[in-house]
Amino acid sequence: MVVNRPSGLPPTRKKQQKHPILLRGADVVEINQEKGQAIVLEKKRPSNLRSLATDTGFVRNEVTRFLASSSGMFYLTNPENIRINKVEVDKRGTLTGRGEQIFKGYPVYGADFTFNISSETERFSGRTVEESKIVASAATLDSDLAIQTLRKDLQEKTKVRTLTKAELKLVGGTQAKVDTLYYPTADGLYRLSFRISYHPNLVEEWIYFINATDGTIISRYNNTKGGWEKKTFTGEDLNGVRQSIHTAYNTDENIYYLQNKAEEMYDPENETGTILILDANFTNATNLETEPCTSKQNEWSPLHVSTMWGITQTYHYFKNTFGRNSLDGEGGNIIGIINMNDSETGGPMDNAYWNGAYMAFGNGNKLKPLAGALDVIGHELGHGVIDKTAGLVYRDQSGAMNESFADIFGAMIDREDWQIGEDITKPEVFPSGALRDLSNPHNGGTSSKEAGWQPAHTSELYTGEKDDGGVHTNSGILNFAYYKYATATSKEEAEQVYYHALTHYLTATSRFTDLRLAIIRSARELYGEKNAACAAKAFDEVGIWEDEASLPEMSLDPNPGDECLAANIKDPESGRIRLMSYNTVTEEYTLISEMPALTTPSVTDNGKTLLYVGEDYKIYRCDLEKGTCEVYSEETPFANVAISKDGKRVAAVAYSDDDPNIYVRNLDDKEWIAFELYTPATEGTTYDVKYADHIEFDLSGEALLYDAYNETDQFSFWNIGALDVWDAEEENWDGEVNILFTYNNGLSVGNPTFFKNSPDKLIFETIDQEGEGELVLFSTKRGILSSKQMPFSQPAYPTFGIKDEYIALMSYDEEENEATVFHIALSEDKNSFILPKDEEDIVFPLGAETDARYPVYYGTGERDLGKKPEVSFQAMNRKGEAPLTITFEDLSQYDPTSWTWTFEGGTPATSDEENPTVVYETPGSYDVTLTVSNAYGTSTVTKKDYIVVGDDPTSVEEVAIKQVSVHPNPATTYVIAEGVEQGPVLVYSATGKSYANLSVTWLDEQSVRVDVSSLPEGLYILKFKNGSAKFMKQMNY
């Protein structure tokens, strides 16, 4: 590209001329001069100086001697102003020294040179500066302030953002490289200046020269060289099929990268929206080292072709089918890593996985290379879409739904059949020829002992603890439901309905029943009642029935005490910063400690004990009732600390960029227990965590909320997770990690904190590549509730008031180095923000002029940290032929400790197990009752006619046996059916819900009138002894 000449540089030099005086010297071989000074001078080397040395001291002495013997031809004669930076000797024995002119220890811009010595000659090439033009001075401006000046100026010219740690490695390790030198100003004098090489983004490099005394910009220019060209390659993939893929050619390096920059999502300014393939070079997740896949001739192996082609096809599927812009919906990068080995064996990995940031491909041992299966690629990248939409928790029923959606995406991307992985299996391992089969979950097997077998009905549901509660097993039931639905309608309609449900109705902890309800509702919205009936029929046939939806989030009564706000507060008179507490009721300040907090303090729920890390990196324990503080721990420099709500446990994070542990212990213990953080993947785990930052205990004190920075040598990302530190049932330390949210593509995410009274909800903040901040309200059961952009680019450290009516945030002014704390209100349901209408409405709890940092609200009262349980239960296969075996699952909220079940018509008739199994031998409809208790109370529920044994009256399948004529259809108040036998008349919705107590009038032996005026709008089924009928109910307008 063309680089404009920077302003402020010396004028263009004139054509070189021979120097007339030196031409008379017999020892001169060549000379060129400029403005009376030699810029090239080559002379015969004195015969007594033929020996050479390669150290810089020798070359410096030789240069000094040479310049002194060429009196008047160079401005540089003082040996103190000569610095040799590098010495090389080539194959011919010619020595080359590279150096520069310095003044007062700093280089002089443009005054650099080379000095060559051979056996016969010595040659000086370069320019020197007259010392009288150099203004001696000291740097009075801090270089950080110079960088701030640069950033402010550069924001008017290009996009400026903060690079991630992984991106910094690609630009030399630092975003701003500062050197001090003497640089010419407009008056021709050389003044002490900063030369700053700055990367405002991953694409550009700018060079600035800023006066080191007054901060003025002397010169600037865009130093971006070369560029990228989009290329294509056509070659065979792993299946022997010729495919065309996109690659990227770097014109500066003359190298081709396995990177697709040709898609619509590509953003050249931020260098995002690319598909990038990295090579793990047979390392594994515990010692992962990657590098870009490159080629000098744009030639690629079948593994390269399959990987790039498969990921690109997956991107196209989501873009063309749903309008989704990349996996995250926002044009984010898609990264694939090939040649990944197994973490346990160190050998070839028989798997592919998604870990929230990238897809890893194994080359297979019992399988063929995983990149050879388009549906496997679609499956794993489908997890990325699921993560960014419903965020289905990867365990139990929600985890099986996660796996099923991924299978569905994989099957729809490779839509020629219903199998998964048929291109990579080996028959001796998978006799059916596929990993899984949506059309036949048993996959040629007869039990779970056979490879590839999955249950096809909830009667075969796996209820154990292995495989995260059977996520890869029970997904077969859901896959089969999708197959039945898609074949009854079409693949095109089914995929739209499922995507709609995923993005609109499902939440992180949704269950099979929630999936049924979401699919039926989405089908009705997109394609009408007939399609919804097909969806209901599909779920009926795999034993997933309509039931109550998941319970809402937990809610506690607010702390009954005074509301207080602890923060670092600056004394306006003395300038001292101290940790203080402000009581919002009495409006009084209390000194907590003279030692300021390094990060946000942590307080027990009753407001009696506060722990924090001081600016000396020690942990302090403060008794807020007695007003005392003491050092709690100083074994290592700490960055953050948290105390559990009940004050029993403490967690801490070390002050280190390379410590992936969170340290936990009981409050009065002496020894820390280290929990190493990891990132759970769809298969196994990855160990990319570099360090955790903010930490906070949940209400129970058993789990710890945290944010963590993850990094490989090629990219980085942040995620928010929950670490199970204590297992109350086992009374032992735990260590399991669950990821709540992942961000990548350079987006910083952090400072998660729970609501005070809704422990299933939290807030966290993000800062994007352009420095724009955002607050996000998040539910662990429902995913993202709402988000709001904020006008600041620094962490805000949110904290909730004791009633959760507002949050306090820190706003930091970089120029003034001051911070204030202000409020943002929440809506009545606490699910969205209410921003102030204007500046006059902003609430500053500590005053608008108070310099305050790291706020945390707490209450001073005592309250129960638990509630009496809210009873709920569910059973999957609750309708079927006798004998019917059913496993009941307790879904009660608020930690019940005892269970009392009553099963009408079942064996056993009662049970005190949490999740009992019961057998029904006799046809009929039966009630089920559950009573649950804990220390706070008891709760009971009875579900009437919940179990149906024998002929299933709600089976939509029987509708096709004999169709009975009904009229009017659609109906508003009644329907009349003709040609039916007298007997029971049953009415069901398309979702299987029964409607009793409707008025039925027999007009004659074969005609009946049914009053349907009380029914809501929708599709219904009438069932008689000899047939059935469908009718549509609509309102009478």
Q: Which helix (H) or strand (E) holds 166?
A: helix 165-170
Q: Which helix (H) or strand (E) holds 516?
A: helix 512-527
Helix 396-413 crosses helix 302-322 at what angle (to 10 degrees)? 100
Q: How many CB atoms lie within 10 A of CB 254?
A: 9
Q: How many CB atoms lie within 10 A of CB 10?
A: 10
- Among the listed residues 167, 204, 263, 380, the single catalytic one is 380
SS3 812: strand
Nearest to 483 by CA among 440, 427, 421: 440
Angle at 373 between CA 371 and CA 377, to 5 degrees: 70
Listed as own residue / partner, the contacts of 578-586 with beta carbons closer than 8 Å and 24 or more positions apart are 579/612, 581/624, 582/845, 582/846, 584/845, 586/562
DSSP state of 81: G
Which are the contacts of 542, defined by CB distance < 8 A and separation ≥ 6? 456, 457, 458, 477, 478, 480, 481, 484
Q: How would you classify residue 172: left for phi > 0, otherwise alpha for psi between -120 and 50, otherwise beta? A: left
Nearest to 453 by CA among 437, 429, 471: 437
Q: Give DSSP secondary structure letters for 609-643.
A: EEEEEBTTS-EEEEETTTTEEEEEE-SS-EEEEEE
472 a catalytic residue: yes
SS3 917: strand
CA 261 to chain CA centroid, Å, is 22
CA 105 to chain CA centroid, Å, is 47
Contact 580, 591 (CB under 8 A): yes
Q: How many CB atoms lie within 10 A of CB 127?
A: 21
* CA dihedral over 35, 37, 39, 44, signed as positive or negative: positive
Paired with 940 in beta bridges are 931
Amino acid identity, residue 534? C
Listed as own residue / partner, the contacts of 725-732 with beta carbons closer than 8 Å and 24 or more positions apart are 725/649, 725/651, 725/662, 725/664, 725/675, 726/649, 726/701, 726/702, 727/702, 728/700, 728/702
Contact 452, 436 (CB under 8 A): yes
SS3 160: coil
Residues 539, 542, 543, 547, Cα dihedral to 10°: -30
Q: Give DSSP secondary structure letters for 375-393.
A: HHHHHHHHHHHHHTTT---
Nearest to 565 by CA among 823, 829, 753, 842: 823
CA 703 to chain CA centroid, Å, is 20
380 a catalytic residue: yes
Paired with 193 in beta bridges are 181, 211
- Among the listed residues 472, 553, 694, 765, the single catalytic one is 472
Q: How many CB atoms lie within 10 A of CB 995?
A: 15
* CA dihedral over 368, 374, 379, 384, signed as positive or negative: positive
The pair of structure tokens assigned to 809 is: 């945030």
| Whole-number Å distance between alpha carbons of 691 and 764 | 18
Q: Which helix (H) or strand (E) holds 932?
A: strand 924-934
Question: Would you name the residues annotated as active-site residues?
Answer: 380, 472
